[in-house]
Structure 1
Amino acid sequence: MEKTMETAQGPLAGLRVLELGQLIAGPFCAQLFGDMGADVIKVEAPGQGDPMRTWGRTGYPLLWSVCARNKRCITANLREKEGQDIVRQLVRQADFVVENFRPGTMEKWGLGYEDLKKENPAIIMIRISGYGQTGPYSKRPGYASVGEAMGGVRYLMGEPDRKPSRAGISLGDTLAGTFATMGALAALHHREKTGEGQVVDAAIYESILAITESLVPEYTVENYTRERSGSYLPAIAPSNIYDCSDGMVILAANQNTVFTRLCEAMGRPGLKDDPRYATHVARGENQAELDNLINDWTRTRTIDEVEAVMIEHAVPVGKVYRARDMLDDPHYVAREALVDLPSERWGTIKMQNAFPKLSATPGSVRWSGPERLGEHTEQVLTDLLDLTPEQIGKLRSSGIV
């Protein structure tokens, strides 16, 4: 079931990532590397490991199998010199180090960038934190929820008559991990030209800020503050969730030509000439009225009926998917968006496949996360650091691994 770096394929095969993070942001970054073929060695604290091993509904810590997939997991006590020495030795054979501790923690352990580049001048250190490595807030603890609020997204999510909502996933963590990966690959390109490593500094709040479109210019130029609007965007119409007799469907027809096709699909071609709906601006000004009109039409039909007629008229349409809707969807199946993996704990586990898809060197999910804490400790310490069984036994007895 398991494969190692030597058998891994993908565009990043041959690269090695040392993951020192925990929970989501750092591990997600390393997961992306692993999906693309890199050899990822995850370092956990002996005796406890990454808290993600136990997170989830009682008895079902399933996110661990996603975050830890394609990784080899070892233990090392980074608070002790012997554990720090293990990391330093591994850094000599690594291309990247990923960490998402509070800024200053790695320096306290003697594992900051200035320390690590003495071991390997070409090392690329990926640092993910709530507020970044610099600035007056840098030393604060920062979870995704706080970064989502500071970055501006949390205020915009939800209905206008109640407190802001959250996305239902750790959006800030995964975005920070994604931007960190992009930065690391840019740093890799620089290293290929110069031989120099560097630090990639990814802040959760800035990762959120990066996707806020024209939020800030709208305020600074026109003194406009975006507010929560629920399931639609103000003045973008029609583009909303509409009721059907057996559920919900999304329609997006705010462009003039598409709106014309929507009117034809509904059997109301004259709506396109109605002054209230004839232009993008007019539809925005009469958004609620237009949404009600469309909803009156959709709620008398099934999802399949609405989807069929909209596809026939080339109007963007989609079901509002839950997990069960994804499993047998023909498009999911055709693109292999989900993959089944053998799992020591679960028998078989289905999860999202590696993405994005590359035509010549595709990534892959080669195994689900190792269940046993320190499962690859002996393998890594023997193969990479040439430690003897006696040396490893001594480290175990002293609590270092």
Structure 2
Amino acid sequence: MTVENQGALKGIRVIEFGQLIAGPFCGQLLGDMGADVIKVEPPGAGDPMRQWGNGEHKVWWEVIGRNKRSITANMRVAEGQALARKLVAGADIMIENFKPGTMEKWGMSPDELHAINPRLIIVRISGYGQTGPYSSRAGFGGIGEAMGGLRAIVGEPDRPPSRAGISIGDTLAATYGCMGALAALQARERTGIGQVIDTALYESVLQVMESLVAEYDVMDIVRERSGSILPGIAPSNVYPCSDGEFMIGGNGDAIFARLAEAMGQPQLARDERYATHIARGKHQAELDELIAQWTKTLTIDELDRLMIKHSVPAGRVYRAPDMLADPHFAAREAIVEREHPVHGSVKMQGAFPKFSANPSSIRRNAPATPGIDNEEVYQQVLNLTEAEMASLAEAGVI
């Protein structure tokens, strides 16, 4: 299936040296927006993401590896490093998420790369950043979530911290890395010069922690785990129905009045315990219990219709089967289906965000094997001969 590249980043070349999640997800985002992403994998097994995921079929790779060409290069030897430098010489963006110092050890520090290609934008993703006393430490997304403040506030208050259920620390860092690269492209239009985007896992999490630090600084408030609610924001919770669970967000004064009307208890909106945002926050637990007693008498479908009728923000708690069955997901192509030589087809999240003039797209499946595009890239991009390719392969460089 051929899809025309109309993306906003068409003509931009990205060299992705990253492995696992953070670097490759940054590459996925740029690739979806039209960039030509050349992924450099170690010869042999390739990126460990090829083996990650649940179940017998490891389809996570099909998502994070899409819109990329795969080549192999042994970055631990001089010949592989030389190939990498040649690739970077003609690139717009380079992504790496190795432990700080690794690229320097390979003769690919920012100064060395900018000497080759002054226009290069270098996205560096690491646990703690490229500077500071912790910079040399190994870091994974979960560690960044803990240090960035997220783990401490996720879960029930009487239990140890929980995790979000996805690798949110990695994908946040990747998203900020992508955002930085896009801004640097714009800056390069003015200056003609590239720069380094230093993205730390823990700082990426810190950025979305809202007023957590300021609350402590000004009022000595240490935010704690609060389960399914945000303290003082009421009603906003998942409530039980006779056949499942349903999310309601009725925490604005006008919205709560409409919710009370839907409940057949309009007087609640005039009750001094619930009439204002602050009052509802003070009586959060009893209000949630009052609403739960009502929702228990309804099915999910019945409650959904009532919330739509009364314009109350609300929705089902979706799992994958619900997403695939929902007409709104289909209408917006939030989930798309790709033909696949092994799996027959694979459904996955579509390219996002939506562009009105330069739509992002999924144009090619994830590379089936490491180095599947060696011939195409090395011969067409670097002009290597077949003899040179054979010699590199025999030496284990590619």
Q: What TM-score comes out, normalization by structure 1 length?
A: 0.98
Report how many residues are paired: 398
Deviation at 1:92, TM superposition (A): 1.4
> In the TM superposition, what whole-angstrom CA distance separates every residue of 1:119-175 from its partner, at most 9, and x where no partner exists?
111101000001000000001000000000000011000000000100110000000
> In the TM superposition, what whole-angstrom CA distance separates every residue of 1:21-50 from its partner, at most 9, and x where no partner exists?
000000000100000000000000001210
The 2-side partners of 1:57 and 1:290 are apart by 39
Deviation at 1:112, TM superposition (A): 1.3
Note the 1:282-321 alignment, pairs <5 A: 282-321=279-318
The 1-side partners of 2:369 and 2:46 are apart by 10
Deviation at 1:343, TM superposition (A): 1.4
- What residue in structure 1 maps to residue 39 of structure 2? 42
Indicate the SS of the match to 2:37.
strand
- What residue in structure 2 maps to residue 255 of structure 1? 252
Q: Is the counterpart of residue 114 in structure 1 residue 150 in structure 2?
A: no
Indicate the SS of the match to 1:147.
helix
- What residue in structure 2 maps to residue 139 of structure 1? 136
The answer to whether the Cα contact below 8 Å between 1:99 and 1:127 also exists between their aligned partners in 2 is yes
Counterpart amino acid of 1:103? P
The answer to whether the Cα contact below 8 Å between 1:342 and 1:367 also exists between their aligned partners in 2 is no
Counterpart amino acid of 1:363? S
The 2-side partners of 1:337 and 1:393 are apart by 43
Deviation at 1:9, TM superposition (A): 2.2
The answer to whether the Cα contact below 8 Å between 1:344 and 1:371 also exists between their aligned partners in 2 is no
- What residue in structure 2 maps to residue 357 of structure 1? 354
The 1-side partners of 2:90 and 2:58 are apart by 32
> Residue 105 and residue 2 in structure 1: after superposition, are their counterparts in 2 closer, same or farther (change >3 A)?
farther
1:389 to 386, 390, 397: 386
Indicate the SS of the match to 1:380.
helix
1:340 to 337, 342, 352: 337
The 1-side partners of 2:144 and 2:243 are apart by 37
1:243 to 222, 240, 244: 240
Indicate the SS of the match to 1:294.
helix
The 2-side partners of 1:364 and 1:248 are apart by 34
- What residue in structure 2 maps to residue 90 of structure 1? 87
Deviation at 1:268, TM superposition (A): 0.4
Q: Is the counterpart of residue 265 in structure 1 residue 262 in structure 2?
A: yes
- What residue in structure 2 maps to residue 280 of structure 1? 277
Aligned-residue Cα RMSD (Å) equals 0.9
Q: Is the counterpart of residue 176 in structure 1 residue 176 in structure 2?
A: no
Note the 1:164-203 alignment, pairs <5 A: 164-203=161-200
The answer to whether the Cα contact below 8 Å between 1:102 and 1:141 also exists between their aligned partners in 2 is yes
The 1-side partners of 2:162 and 2:352 are apart by 28
Counterpart amino acid of 1:391? E
The 2-side partners of 1:247 and 1:71 are apart by 40
Deviation at 1:95, TM superposition (A): 0.1
- What residue in structure 1 maps to residue 5 of structure 2? 8
Deviation at 1:58, TM superposition (A): 4.6
The 1-side partners of 2:135 and 2:254 are apart by 49
Q: What TM-score comes out, normalization by structure 2 length?
A: 0.99
The 1-side partners of 2:5 and 2:134 are apart by 40
The answer to whether the Cα contact below 8 Å between 1:345 and 1:371 also exists between their aligned partners in 2 is no
Deviation at 1:2, TM superposition (A): 6.4
> Residue 341 and residue 199 in structure 1: after superposition, are their counterparts in 2 closer, same or farther (change >3 A)?
same
Q: Is the counterpart of residue 161 in structure 1 residue 133 in structure 2?
A: no
Indicate the SS of the match to 1:98.
strand
> Residue 119 and residue 2 in structure 1: after superposition, are their counterparts in 2 closer, same or farther (change >3 A)?
farther
Indicate the SS of the match to 1:28.
helix
Deviation at 1:368, TM superposition (A): 2.0
Which residues of structure 2 form unaligned runs of 5+?
A: none
The 1-side partners of 2:342 and 2:284 are apart by 51
- What residue in structure 2 maps to residue 73 of structure 1? 70
- What residue in structure 1 maps to residue 395 of structure 2? 398
